[in-house]
């Protein structure tokens, strides 16, 4: 839409009484979608999706979308996984994650292709796929961004795709060598996935460090950590960890500092959690510089689209590897799901998440239920 048209529409919009605006906005969106549908000859699909309506308010609402474009497929969701850190940050308006509302959350979903665009090759109607798709019953996506789900992998497992990729790229940057001592700070979903992927690299020992013992049960399951430390019980336990590699899987300034304290002199600290917030509470000299630490930023946004290197695989490579690990049972993720929610329960789900998530780790919406 050209800027001059947007300006005119905005001027008109501000003259409309506030009470009438939502209805008129809805009418406008519906009308333009219909015009677009006619112009592009793409059918209008009815779906339902989770929306954040305001701070700490989620609701399942009906919505309309256009059928797939030439390079897209229409996916009917089976299962979507909540990315707790990011979604909670947006829901609560935390630093670095302030967005306008309504906001449509979700980016890790598995489902079935029910329509495809004319240019799509390699994916057929009926195929099971997973990828960066919102919490919605139906969504279109570029076929090239999706992964075909292997036959032995369930929709629940495949819904971990995006979170799996996030952790894999971080673990890769950590370059853990067999026999190294590894610590994972934070035992939410990212932390627990990091435990399991680090374990595959045969460290000498694997230690989880968390504020409390709430998530210990899952952390010590087969394929998890050797030792679980609770900061609530002993704040100073961090100094005894002396890990060669520390994976920081929280994203708060406090957790960043904890991770550095857990590293041995000359150790490596991988910042995997999406960092939010500022702090003055960091004695750079004593915590990091004097101890000769290597700090490695590992956010998913840094992944190359092509030209992979040993420490930086592409998104497509990491996704494929994740599904292979699950398929061959070298990585178990289903037991990390602690709440299998119906989409209709989303209000209660996000209420719990906003309050800190209680003891939950993996929360899925099962769209086929």
Partner 1 sequence: MEPLRIGIVGAGAIAQRNAKEAAASGTAKIAGVFDLNHKVARDMARALSAPFFPSYESLLASPEVEAVLLSVPHYLHKSMTIEAASHGKHVLVEKPMANTLDEAREMIACCEKNGVQLTVNYSFRYLPKIQKARQLIQDGAVGDITGIQIIAHQFKDRGYWSGARSNSPDDWRASKEKCGGGFLIMNVCHVIDYVYFITGLKGTRVYSEYATLGSPAEVEDIISVSARLSNGGIASISASSIMRGTDQAEERIWGTKGTIILNGEGLSCYSTRPIDGKRPGKVFHYTKFPNVSWTAEWVKKFVASVRQGTRPDISSLEGWDNLAFISAAYQSMEKGMPLEVAPFPASPLLKNETMVK
For residue 175, count CB atoms less than 10 angstroms from its CB and return exposed for 0-12, middle for 13-18, buried for 19 or more.
Answer: middle
- Closer by beta carbon to partner 1, 57 or else 316: 57
Work out how close the CB of 60 gets to partner 1 at its nearest, in angstroms, rounded to a whole number.
Answer: 9
| 54 vs 324 by CB, closer to partner 1 | 54
Q: How far is the CB of 138 from partner 1 (least distance, A)?
A: 21
In the complex, the smallest distance separating the C-beta of residue 189 from partner 1, rounded to whole angstroms, is 24
**DSSP notation for 18-32:** GGGHHHHHHHHHHHH
User: Which of residues 254 and 347 has its CB atom nearest to partner 1 in the complex?
Assistant: 347
Q: Which is nearer to partner 1, 57 or 308 (CB)?
A: 57
**Which helix (DSSP H) or strand (DSSP E) does residue 158 occupy?**
helix 155-158
DSSP assignment of 115-144? EE-TT--S--TT-EEEES--SBSEEEEEGG
Q: Give the list of residues 6+ apart from residue 100 with CB closer than 8 angstroms, or none.
A: none
Q: What number of CA atoms fall less than 13 Å from residue 64's CA on the CB side?
A: 14
- CA-CA distance, 83 to 166, in Å (whole number)? 11
Half-sphere exposure of 164 (CA within 13 A, CB side): 29
CB of 348 to partner 1, least distance (A): 8
Helices and strands in the chain: count of H runs, count of E runs: 12, 15
Nearer to partner 1, 57 or 221 (CB): 57
Transcribe 214-250 into DSSP letters: TTHHHHTSTTS-SEEEETTT-GGGHHHH-EEEEEE-S
Q: Which SS3 state, helix, strand or coil, does residue 62 take?
A: strand
| Least distance from partner 1 to the Cβ atom of residue 57, Å | 4
Point out which residues bind partner 1 (CB under 8 A): 53-54, 56-57, 59, 61, 347-348, 351
User: Which is closer to partner 1, CB of 56 or CB of 327?
Assistant: 56
Residue 37: count of CB within 10 angstroms of its CB = 17
Our CB check for partner 1 shows the closer of 61 and 308 to be 61
Do residues 132 and 53 make contact, with C-beta atoms less than 8 angstroms apart? no
* C-beta atoms surrounding 219 within 10 Å: 23
Q: Of 24 and 35, which has the nearer Cβ to partner 1?
A: 24
Label residue 94 exposed, middle or buried (CB < 10 Å: 0-12, 13-18, 19+): middle
């Amino acid at each position: 839409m050209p800027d001059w048209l947007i300006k005119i529409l905005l001027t008109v919009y501000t003259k409309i009484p506030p009470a009438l605006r939502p209805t008129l906005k809805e009418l406008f969106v519906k009308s333009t979608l219909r015009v677009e549908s006619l112009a592009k000859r793409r059918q209008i699909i009815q779906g339902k999706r989770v929306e954040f309506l305001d701070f700490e308010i989620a609701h399942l609402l009906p919505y309309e979308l256009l059928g797939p474009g030439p390079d897209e497929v229409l996916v009917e969701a089976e299962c979507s996984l909540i990315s707790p850190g990011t979604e909670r940050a947006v829901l609560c308006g935390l630093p670095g994650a302030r967005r306008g509302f309504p906001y449509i959350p979700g980016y890790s979903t598995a489902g079935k292709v029910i329509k495809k665009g004319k240019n799509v090759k390699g994916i057929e109607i009926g195929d099971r796929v997973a990828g960066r798709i919102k919490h919605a019953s139906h969504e279109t996506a570029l076929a090239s961004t999706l992964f075909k789900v292997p036959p032995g992998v369930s929709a629940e497992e495949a819904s971990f795709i995006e979170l799996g990729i996030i952790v894999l790229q971080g673990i890769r940057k950590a370059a853990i060598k067999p026999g190294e001592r590894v610590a994972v700070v934070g035992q939410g979903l990212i932390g627990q996935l990091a435990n399991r992927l680090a374990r595959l690299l045969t460290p000498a020992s694997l230690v989880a460090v968390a504020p409390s013992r709430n998530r210990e049960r899952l952390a010590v399951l087969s394929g998890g950590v050797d030792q679980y430390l609770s900061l609530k019980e002993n704040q100073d336990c961090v100094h005894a960890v002396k890990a060669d590699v520390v994976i920081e899987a929280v994203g708060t300034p406090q957790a960043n500092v904890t991770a550095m304290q857990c590293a041995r002199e000359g150790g490596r600290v991988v910042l995997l959690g999406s960092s939010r917030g500022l702090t003055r509470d960091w004695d750079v000299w004593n915590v990091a510089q004097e101890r000769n630490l290597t700090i490695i930023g590992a956010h998913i946004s840094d992944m190359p689209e092509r030209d992979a290197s040993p420490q930086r695989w592409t998104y497509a490579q990491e996704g494929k590897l994740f599904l292979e690990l699950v398929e061959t049972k070298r990585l178990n993720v289903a037991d990390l799901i602690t709440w299998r929610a119906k989409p209709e329960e989303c209000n209660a789900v996000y209420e719990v998440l906003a309050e800190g998530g209680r003891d939950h780790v993996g929360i899925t919406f099962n769209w086929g239920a």
